[in-house]
Amino acid sequence: MTTRLTPYATEAEIEAIGAHFANLTLPKAAWTHAAHFAAAIWLIRRRADILPERDMPDMIRRYNESVGGVNSATAGYHETITLASIRATRAFLDTETGERPLHEIHAALMAGPCGDKDWLFAYWPRERLLSVEARRIWVEPDIVPFPF
């Protein structure tokens, strides 16, 4: 059983994750599964000048390099995981009504399937999702259609 925790208790924490990610000042240890979704939520809700589907791939690549990482065939940026996560985040945000604080939205998103770091294996076999091809380009799921 996977434990779903969100370390973000305030709006300011989500704002900080998003801003530090965008400014390449987020510590590497802070770039967690939950932080990826926090950054996506923040970008969609707070940065109208950024289209995550278009801009987040290069933002992640630059961020990885800024903390000493590489973007290669086996490490760093992953196209299919990034785009699937953005699509799921956007679909979740589309169901939100009103102006709930971002940390509450994030907690609700993390309480569902996306909170499990292995959530995408319901759509892609592990070998296919972790392949070089899926890392470089969008690869359609082959277990069940991706609903987002």
Measured distance CA(3)–CA(23) in Å, rounded: 30
**pLDDT for the residue 99:** 86
Instruction: With cut-offs at 50, 70 and 90, classify the pLDDT of residue 6.
Output: low
Cβ-count burial of 76 within 10 angstroms (0-12 exposed, 13-18 middle, 19+ buried)?
Answer: middle
**What residues does each domain of the chain span?**
11-136
Instruction: With cut-offs at 50, 70 and 90, classify the pLDDT of residue 5.
Output: low
23-77 pLDDT, tens digit each = 999 999 999 999 999 999 999 999 999 999 999 999 999 999 999 999 999 999 9
113-141 pLDDT, tens digit each = 999 999 999 999 999 999 999 999 999 99
Measured distance CA(4)–CA(2) in Å, rounded: 6
Q: Sign (positive/negative) of CA torsion 9, 28, 132, 72?
A: positive
Q: Sign (positive/negative) of CA torsion 114, 118, 120, 121?
A: negative
